[in-house]
Structure 1
Amino acid sequence: MNKTFSYHVASTKSYAHRLKSKTATSDEVLIITSYDYFLEKKGLALLINRYKEIVLVPRSVDDDYLLNKTIRPLLEQYSKIHLVTNPQYDSRYHVIYELVVRNNKSIRITTVYDFCEKILKKVYVPDGLDEENPFLPSQLYFNQKVRFTKECIDTVISFLLLFFSLPLWAISALRIRQESPGPVFYQQERLGLHKSVFACIKFRSMVPDAEANGAMFSKKKDNRVFKYGALMRLTRIDELPQLLNIFRGEISLIGPRPERPVFTETFEEEIPYYNLRHGVKPGITGYAQVMYPYGAGVYDARHKLMYDLYYIKNWSLRLEMKIIIHTAIVVFTRKGR
């Protein structure tokens, strides 16, 4: 990411960030007000290839500073402004628009909802439960045609994966027993369609008493993981037994990651619209898993939810195939968790 743009803090007082591009395809400058909650590294990497400069303005910046220290200097350098704002919770777009027009510059205004979905390819999820996304329905689910198509894909690809991966099942069973005495498989309670509970099956990659002190998120460098377990997690070999869950009808090949009930309770209390992901079957892999780096906790769960909701809301055969291809790249390049 540092190879494509330089990054510096425009003001230590306001923490308004300015990112200058060396490879932009547009002559516009992008200004995003109230950006605090929906942007992450991958999104910034995408935007820096489009715009000459990106100005990220947090909610804490006052109007005077925003206009005189941020917007006016930009108008001296650029003739085209693209402003992204949340019209429900930030009215400053009015004064920015007037200032730009008075200086005979061009401006286009995009809502944060459209910007996230059309440019960043994810759905805007507010930071707090008191904020809404008016473009999200009370329920999200796949229609009968989509469900039938996904079931056909699941059946064909799962049987192929099972057939060609059988040698890996035998090798993995042997290596697990050699490196960590105990069961080969590990079953864990997860939530499926409509929050139904099922036993998610995986090859065991951690020591048998990994959660002796209670449920916890796994980490990138987790000392509970034995050597071959780390390799399985890196290449996602540990996920292969979930093919049995697909044959049982509990999960799909592609979908939101099946979450544990104990963590889901916390996420639903703190993340708006988190319950919408339960309107479809979870998946062995998914859009959030290929688009967002491995992470744990509320912050990461919120960003993953944006991608999961985009997948459900904008499902297409092309998107399904894209996720399958990306997952294969992760497996063969060993860029898993």
Structure 2
Amino acid sequence: MSNTYVTNRRYIHRLLSKTATSKEVLIVTSYDYFLQKHDLALLLKKYKEVILIPHSNDDDYLLNHTVRPLLDKFEKIHLVTNPQYDKRNRIIYELVVQKNKSIRITTVYDFCEKSLKKVYIPDNVSEINPNLLTIPTFGRRIRYPKKIIDVTISIILFLFTFPLWILSYFKIKIQSPGPVFYFQERVGMNNVAFNCIKFRSMGLDAEQNGASFSKKNDSRTFSYGSYMRLSRIDELPQIINIFKRDLSLIGPRPERQVFTETFDELIPYYNMRHNIKPGITGYAQVMYTYGAGVYDARHKLMYDLYYIKNWSLVLELKIILKTAVVIFGKRGR
């Protein structure tokens, strides 16, 4: 697919696609941080153009010089609105009506869930997503099949990977003397702390300067530790956490309290991810590239909350399959 990305006066981003299946234009009147590359690739298969209009101080000029020309090219407009920008939405609607063109309007909240399969998390802590006024906890209808999946796959996985446990034990001992297992306190369901168990992949002095996010090509890891992180072998001991009922196989990844406290202050709805058990892997892990910090935590939360709101057996199995692809493709963090 051949795409061209053009920036027009810093206010508008236009993406063109030769493979779009319709001649409809998508206009997003919202700060575009929630759209990732794979989101845009998906949308460009459906829409001829995707126009992202972030906030500006001169909406009248911006819309009349960017939106109006589009109406000469397209008969159909799909407007994704954010109530934060009512003035801008009204201007676009009036322009469309004047041109006697077809328009359909979707809120950014519904658009994210239905088209992008994630929940919109406002960038502004004062903004409210009406789709998140309530979010469920998992009842028996979900907990029981999840428990069956957790126990069954964990037993199979343990038996299948047992030789790796033995190999990892000796490799770690040889390359980095010290404990083989690493215990780290993480925040679980209902904000209850538990000790997450992993194979140690870093030196004993890895956090001598305080807690920090791990990252790709982390200099704190030893040779086999890097391989374990890439292949996710270091996560295998978390099977024990599943048997101890601290973790589920699928769910939001558990974070350390020092980070969750910060995220809870800066990211709207962040604490809702603690409504269910965290997981060894999750929807956010297979849908979002590795990253650390508030920006990435907000993006991951979009997927975590979608998983909680829209859980299904199909989605659960899809995440398991995607995780297998990540592992065997050695695309770990």
Question: TM bucket by the smaller chain?
Answer: over 0.9
For residues 49-88 of structure 1, what are the alpha-carbon distances to aligned partners after superposition, in whole Å with 9 as ceiling and x for unaligned? Answer: 2111111100125222232211111112111111101125
For residues 235-262 of structure 1, what are the alpha-carbon distances to aligned partners after superposition, in whole Å with 9 as ceiling and x for unaligned? Answer: 1111000000000000100000001000
Partner of 1:301: 297
1:150 maps to 2:146: yes
1:256–1:285 Cα contact (<8 Å) kept: yes
List aligned pairs for 1:177-188, cutoff 5 A. Answer: 177-188=173-184
1:140–1:277 Cα contact (<8 Å) kept: no
1:35–1:58 Cα contact (<8 Å) kept: yes
Partner of 1:169: 165
1:202–1:238 Cα contact (<8 Å) kept: yes
Partner of 1:5: 3
1:225 maps to 2:221: yes
Partner of 1:249: 245
Select the residue among 116, 122, 129 that pairs with 2:125. Answer: 129
Report how far residue 90 of structure 1 moved: 3.2
Matches of 1:103 and 1:163, distance apart in 2: 66
Matched-pair identity in % = 66
Letter in 1 for 2:3: F
For residues 168-211 of structure 1, what are the alpha-carbon distances to aligned partners after superposition, in whole Å with 9 as ceiling and x for unaligned? Answer: 10111111112111111111000111011000000111111100
2:249–2:280 Cα contact (<8 Å) kept: yes
Structure 2 length as normaliser, TM-score? 0.97
2:188–2:254 Cα contact (<8 Å) kept: yes
Partner of 1:34: 30
Q: Secondary structure at the match of 2:71?
A: helix
1:290–1:327 Cα contact (<8 Å) kept: yes
Shifted more, 189-198 versus 62-71: the winner is 62-71
List aligned pairs for 1:14-163, cutoff 5 A. Answer: 14=11, 16-60=12-56, 62-163=58-159
Q: Secondary structure at the match of 2:306?
A: helix
Partner of 2:195: 199
| Structure 2 stretches lacking a partner, 5+ long | none
Matches of 1:176 and 1:57, distance apart in 2: 51
| Structure 1 stretches lacking a partner, 5+ long | none
RMSD: 1.2
Matches of 1:90 and 1:228, distance apart in 2: 55
Matches of 2:85 and 2:91, distance apart in 1: 15
Partner of 2:324: 328
Q: Secondary structure at the match of 2:132?
A: coil
Report how far residue 139 of structure 1 moved: 4.4
1:27–1:51 Cα contact (<8 Å) kept: yes
Matches of 2:35 and 2:307, distance apart in 1: 18
Matches of 2:303 and 2:86, distance apart in 1: 24
For residues 70-117 of structure 1, what are the alpha-carbon distances to aligned partners after superposition, in whole Å with 9 as ceiling and x for unaligned? Answer: 111111211111110112543322221121121121111110011000
Report how far residue 8 of structure 1 moved: 1.4
